[in-house]
Structure 1
Amino acid sequence: MPAHRRSAALAPFVAALSAYDLGPGGVHRGLPSSTISITIPEADSLEIGRLGSRERFRAVVAGLHLDPAELRQEGGTRGVWLTLSPPAAGALLGVPASALSGQVAELADVAPVLDYLPERLATCRSWPQRRALVEEALLAGLDRHERDTGGELPATLAALSALSALSGTARVQEAARRLGCSRRHLSGTVRGALGVTAKEYQRLLRFEAARGGLVAAARAGTVSLAAVAAAAGFADQAHLTREWRAMAGCTPTEWLRTEGLTGLTT
């Protein structure tokens, strides 16, 4: 299948698919996310430190999480990284996002049919080849899911509607009103689909908005934490800093420095 057709078919499910390079030392701080991530090193394995424990993975799937992780890759520091929308877990991997919430696991354990990917990716000689291999594997998963469900995706559509409503407002009650349902019904839908509460999902969205705002402002030359906080929906700069300490394990300015971004102001 041509590249543009593969990408179009996967667009509702795949938020990002890219090559990565952890750089000197092969270490990266993994931040809380409202998406499901899959990391496949080109060589060796990946060590993930989280919640006081460390584990090694040949290829790793991480569900929605509200805490940071440290990714360390010895030897080769490059690989393939992709993020999936929560409903994509069932459609592409065959497991609900709720089963992955707060977890990190071997890709082969979550989706045994994908256990060949690390070895095959290691034989690819270019990024286009790697990208095509991953996209074909995901499309095969989508085909299997559609055969198993007869093409019906009611749960997926309900989850997508709930997530869209939550991303469009800062209050769960307002999202429920827009959907024409009770807050309890919306909360149950989100918890069942994602494994996190509706408020926790909005907390992740706010954190991600701040992260994007910080990066954009730093690249523009100057970061005003107060402005980033207001744009992302935080009460004030202090609220932003507290959330970053709790969810990233550092302050926003500390994170920007570790990422090599400058232009810091308060």
Structure 2
Amino acid sequence: MSGGRAVTMARLAGDRWRVTRPWPAALRPYLHSYAGYWEDTATPYRVRIVPTGRAVLLISLGEPFAQVHRLAENGPEIRVVGSLVAGLEDGPRIADHPGGQEAIRLELTPLGAYRLFALPMREVANTVVELADILGPHSRELVERMSCTRDWGERFDLLDAALLARLGAGPEPAPEVDQAWRMLARSGGTVPVARIAQETGWSHGYLVRKFTEQVGLTPKMSARVLRFHRTMGLMASGSADLGALTAHCGFYDQAHLNREFRALAAVTPGQVVAARMAEGAVAL
């Protein structure tokens, strides 16, 4: 442990374990989740990764994903060897893993990712890239040091220090973009973009340009993703009344909800209700 922050392990489905520790206070504004995972037995699996409005950083300490393939793409699968970064998505991916996963996975707010990655977020939107391509070759040394210890507290210590150093030196998001994102996130994607532009004092065009640069998706697409993700979360918590969800989450009607689920995740609401969901993924 570090500074009284004890590591906790919890068994998930099957032989998979989740490892957590309270996050450093300085990281909390930028994170949605931060946890380690490992398996007792190597079990291959496939998941459909759906849009969440979050960026992902995955530190691979064991077997990497075999492939990560965006369904809308007709080209070859993206093979990612080792640790990876994924920007915000507006469509689904299929991820195959051979089993034997041991990793630390972070979900970042878009503006937390903008500070951490120190590049325009539109460059990593709808794509998955090697960690070293974003954080530089020194990140390989960090991953190697984390792999060489079996102590999860020490692993978190190493990653905490690297994240805090990157965030401290990263670019500051524009206050207007931060305000725009907060308005969208708090409303679940239901606030009109015209109202956001009015409240930030920016023109519609300038808001779209700056927002897309620092978040990765346009305000309109971000609103769609957030509305979808909110609906997914309510379904996962047991709210399966699609009629009530349609109005509550800001869809025009149930047909609109169905279209958005097909467009953003290539699934139906019924398939989501029947599937096991965890951390932006639907088990296949």
TM-score (norm: length of structure 2)? 0.78
Q: Give the partner amino acid of 1:48.
A: V
What CA distance in whole angstroms lies between the structure 1 residues aligned with 2:62 and 2:241?
Answer: 40
Quick check: 1:41–1:118 contact (8 Å CA) kept in 2? yes
Specify which of 108, 114, 119 is matched with residue 84 of structure 1: 108
Equivalent residue for 2:227? 206
Deviation at 1:206, TM superposition (A): 0.5
What CA distance in whole angstroms lies between the structure 2 residues aligned with 1:225 and 1:25?
Answer: 33
Is the deviation greater in 128-137 or in 172-181? 128-137
CA RMSD, Structure 1 to Structure 2 (Å): 2.6
1:48 maps to 2:73: no
What CA distance in whole angstroms lies between the structure 2 residues aligned with 1:34 and 1:67?
Answer: 11
Q: Secondary structure at the match of 1:105?
A: strand
Equivalent residue for 1:189? 210
What CA distance in whole angstroms lies between the structure 2 residues aligned with 1:138 and 1:229?
Answer: 39
Q: C-alpha offsets along residues 11-68 of structure 1, whole Å, 9 cap, x if unaligned?
A: 1212211234699532221111311111233312112111243122211111111111
Cα pair distance change 1:128/1:28, threshold 3 Å: farther
Q: Give the partner amino acid of 1:159.
A: V
1:165 maps to 2:183: yes
Q: Give the partner amino acid of 1:30.
A: I
Q: Secondary structure at the match of 1:61?
A: strand
- Which has the larger helix fraction? 1
Q: C-alpha offsets along residues 164-220 of structure 1, whole Å, 9 cap, x if unaligned?
A: 133344311112222233323322221222232210111111111111111112xxx
Specify which of 242, 257, 263 is matched with residue 225 of structure 1: 242
Equivalent residue for 2:53? 34
Deviation at 1:251, TM superposition (A): 0.9
Is the deviation greater in 117-126 or in 105-114? 117-126
Is the deviation greater in 59-68 or in 234-243? 234-243
Identity %: 29
Q: Secondary structure at the match of 2:32?
A: strand
1:179 maps to 2:203: no
Equivalent residue for 1:255? 272
1:130 maps to 2:155: yes
Deviation at 1:6, TM superposition (A): 5.6
Structure 1: stretches of 5+ with no match in the other structure: 262-266
Cα pair distance change 1:182/1:165, threshold 3 Å: farther
Quick check: 1:98–1:195 contact (8 Å CA) kept in 2? yes
Q: Count residues with an aligned counterpart.
A: 250
Q: Give the partner amino acid of 1:32.
A: P
Quick check: 1:107–1:114 contact (8 Å CA) kept in 2? yes
What CA distance in whole angstroms lies between the structure 1 residues aligned with 2:23 and 2:36?
Answer: 17
Specify which of 99, 102, 111 is matched with residue 126 of structure 2: 102
Q: Give the partner amino acid of 1:42.
A: L
